[in-house]
Amino acid sequence: MAEIIKILEIIGTVAFALSGALIAVGASLDIFGVVFVGCITAVGGGIVRDLLLGITPPNIFASFHICLIAMITAITVFIIAYINRKKFHTFKTKIEHINNFFDAVGLAAFSVTGAEVGFTHGFSDNAFIIIVIGMITGVGGGIFRDILINTTPYVFKKHIYALASIFGSTLYFILRTCIDNIPLASVLSMLSVVLIRLLATKYCWNLPRVHIENDEK
């Protein structure tokens, strides 16, 4: 199981670092800002998860290779964007689609790893903790990312982001409890999150909201 978690962590780290770096480039941050935002997107959720579970210092500080992977990914994104900076806005829609896909993969990977960390720390009989920890791991980094670039966190306004994570974490808890096949549970749960996110984006699925109209003349 440890090897599966490591693989999922790497997948999630690359996906979220890439997503965070792309958004940081779009916000015109310098290279340090792009790398910092890319890294915090990749590790922010895991840090919050560990603190809530009483894991201090958080595991990320004992896994420098995860930060290194995030840094290399973000730097690569910056270099590619810098070389193609004149075309960056021309391909804005295509870049948003790419970013959305990697964001969905990162959300899926970290929702599952977060839920598994809950299992390995003795909460296998508490569905609520497992699901919440999975969601926090999945969405935490994105919230930090959006706050750093001074925008309302994506999770609060677009395409049922948190619900996809909750669904994936819930499915993982059910499968992990009912079947003795952790790899299968991981793959099915991740696929469910990615599918929900991509369908939500394609068909503009959003939660209800109150639209306040300004009646002032």
Residue 57: is the preceding peptide bond cis (ω within 30°)?
yes
Whether 215 maps to a domain, the answer reads no
Whether 11 maps to a domain, the answer reads yes
Residue 35: closest CA among 81, 60, 72 = 72
How much is the average pLDDT of 189-213? 90
Residue 102: closest CA among 194, 184, 204, 187 = 194
Give CA–CA dist 48/77, Å, rounded. 26
Give CA–CA dist 40/47, Å, rounded. 9
Q: Is the pLDDT of residue 89 over 80?
A: no
Chain centre distance of CA 59 = 17
What 3-state DSSP class applies to 132?
A: helix
Q: How confident is the model at residue 193 (pLDDT cuts 50, 70, 90)?
A: very high
Whether 216 maps to a domain, the answer reads no
Whether 145 maps to a domain, the answer reads yes
Quote the pLDDT of residue 214.
66
Domains contained in the chain, number: 1
Q: Provide the domain limits for residue 124.
A: 2-203
How much is the average pLDDT of 119-137? 96
pLDDT tens column, 132-169: 999 999 999 999 999 999 999 988 887 789 999 999 99
DSSP 60: G
Say if CB 118 and CB 135 are below 8 A apart.
Answer: no
Give CA–CA dist 156/207, Å, rounded. 9
